[in-house]
Amino acid sequence: MKKLILILIGFTIILQAQINNKISNNLQIQIEMSSESENLLVWVFFTDKGLNSLNKLSKPENIVSKKSLKRRAKVLPKNQLVSTLDLPVNNNYIKLLQNNGFKLRHKSKYLNAVSGYINIHNIKTISTNNFIKKIDIVKKYHKNENSIEKVKNETKIHNLQKQKSHLLNYGPSFTQLEQINVPVLHDSKLTGKGILICVLDAGFNLLQHEVFDSLNIIDQWDFVDNDSTIEGHSHGTNVLSAIGGFKENKLIGPAYGADYLLARTEDVSSETPVEEDNWIAGIEWADSIGADITSTSLGYLDFDYPYDSYTWEDMNGDSCRITIVADIAVNNGIIVVVSAGNSGDNSLHNTLNAPADGKKVITVGAVDSLGNRSSFSSVGNTVDGRIKPNVMAMGTAVYLANTGGTSSYSRGNGTSFSCPLVAGVTALLLEKDSTLTPTEITNILQDNASNSDLPNRLMGWGIINASASYNSINVEPTKLITNYPNPFNSGTTIEYKIEKNTFVKISIYNILGQKIQTLVNEQKKVGNYKINFNGTKLVSGIYLCSMQYDNKIKTKKMLLLK
């Protein structure tokens, strides 16, 4: 009998240890502070997507839209356009959770998880299931709302007389577009036509504003209230007008001819903290429909009490769930453009807000009309040494539509408004060459920006130049793409695209022209390729990546920083 009792005690200890391993530290803190009847908003992560789930990958068109597949074909092998990340969360697992009182809120196929409400007692119960990998709290962020301020003194705004040389009359919005050389592209009839942009924001009030009369909205969804009504806050209205508005002599956005998806992912109508699962659900929705570009003028750092806040030390591209999901979206071919944040400079460390620390996202800082960095604009670098922000655009005194009336306008300050300007320019570049990948777009913007020769933590590669970027697009089918990350501190990835069977040789040289290593030296078939280069044994400095094919040579600079 004693032996049986000991066995049962031992089994109970093991089971309790398994349960504790599945419950995160933050969730455990909340459990200890709450009563057993209290409902908590949690993530439940699963071990897999169920038996025979891989069979669904044989029919990609049943998983995502044709437009999404076409976009993914730019960056993924043709036989790998979908993966297990795209498979839906297993419904049987969800039903078992619901049988234990779980109230579903959002599903995340990227994370293989669901978010929802459940009381503390049932958290312990569901954690005993073998299909559950981990249970964590859904992080709640304090919103550092980007302020919208009316500017009375406009003496520093550029003279508007230059508009006479362009086909459109931009009114007061001319300054923000002229600074990044957009009007010359509009003169060439570029408008973003055929490009699908998803704007994720805090709500879109007064879409009846005159600036949206010609805007083509394909779909919309409210991920806060889980319905199709996307009203909530004027912030999204301001942002949308900056990227896609059109009213001659008033306000014209760079991509006024693009198609749009609108996602309300944040509730700022009260002091309610922002919850990360809304944004994650929003960008997965945009991916499945086929968005080419997403624009996010939101940034998250501080958690609601009692959870530990992220700090500048977590801005490494791997800690925040929002950042992880943003980079997954880029891997699927989406150009993800985000605001750097409005936390200003700190000489000791970065002031970025997630997902601005993403390894593959385009992070945008703010300047004024004279090209000076706005004092509020957040700075890098990321903890792992990458330069952020990537690029800059006007974020001080940006001319915007507001919700005071259908013909009401004002000026606003914040990286919230530099971000959509850059996102709009990416649509113009895609309109010229829809095969451009997110990495190619990033490199084109950076290579033609005002500070490209000496990028730094305050301004990144500098103010973008839409016209120069457009003219630099290489329409040749075979491409060598600048490595990423660049600069890098040990390893980096080099991408290249082959559109006809050919012999390819790719080598790395130092600045003196001495060969360091040959990475590729063989016949290649049509396709997209990636290779890794390890610079651990090399000293810091500039290196050259050279690609030879068809008696041609393409070279890209790589910067190694240790």
Residue with tokens 């959770």: 97
- pLDDT band per the 50, 70, 90 thresholds, residue 3: low
Distance CA 399, CA 162 (A): 17
Average predicted confidence (pLDDT) for the chain = 87
- Residue 382: closest CA among 402, 401, 363: 363
Instruction: Give the rounded distance of the alpha carbon of 160 from its chain centre.
Output: 34
- CATH classification for the domain delimited by 2-143, as one of 3.40.50.720, 3.30.300.30, 3.40.50.20, 3.30.70.80: 3.30.70.80
The pTM for the full model equals 0.81
Distance CA 329, CA 110 (A): 9
- pLDDT tens track for 425-459: 999 999 999 999 999 999 899 989 999 888 999 99
Instruction: Give the rounded distance of the alpha carbon of 207 from its chain centre.
Output: 24
- Stretch 521-525: mean pLDDT, rounded? 91
Element at 508 (helix H, strand E): strand 502-510
- pLDDT band per the 50, 70, 90 thresholds, residue 553: confident
Please give the pLDDT value at position 25: 87
506-540 burial code (b ≥16 CB/10 A, e <16):
bbbbeeeeeebeebbeeebeeebbeeebebeebee
Please give the pLDDT value at position 147: 40
21-36 burial code (b ≥16 CB/10 A, e <16):
ebbbeebeebbeeeee
> What is the topology classification, in CATH, of domain 169-472?
Rossmann fold (3.40.50)
Residue 268 has pLDDT above 70, yes or no: no
Distance CA 77, CA 219 (A): 29
Please give the pLDDT value at position 154: 39
- pLDDT tens track for 250-263: 999 999 999 999 99
- Residue 516: closest CA among 488, 544, 496, 478: 544
Which tokens is 216 given? 């083509």
- Residue 200: closest CA among 325, 57, 60, 303: 325
Superfamily of domain 479-560: Macroglobulin (MG2) domain (2.60.40.1930)
- pLDDT tens track for 332-390: 999 999 999 998 998 888 889 889 999 999 999 999 999 999 999 999 899 888 999 99
Helices (H), 99-182: 120-126, 174-178
Please give the pLDDT value at position 437: 92
- pLDDT band per the 50, 70, 90 thresholds, residue 145: very low
Residue 21's alpha-carbon distances to 26, 34, 75, in angstroms, are 12, 20, 37
Please give the pLDDT value at position 156: 44
Inter-residue contact 489 to 561 (CB < 8 Å)? yes
Please give the pLDDT value at position 11: 42
- Stretch 234-244: mean pLDDT, rounded? 94
Please give the pLDDT value at position 302: 52
Q: Where are the domains of the chain?
A: 2-143, 169-472, 479-560
- pLDDT tens track for 64-111: 999 999 999 999 988 889 999 999 999 999 999 999 999 999 999 999
Please give the pLDDT value at position 469: 95
**300 vs 164: which has the higher pLDDT:** 164
Secondary structure (DSSP) of 488-507 = BSSEEEEEEEESS-EEEEEE
Please give the pLDDT value at position 300: 58
Give me the sign of the Cα torsion angle 416, 417, 423, 427: positive
- Stretch 172-176: mean pLDDT, rounded? 96
Residue 167 has pLDDT above 70, yes or no: yes
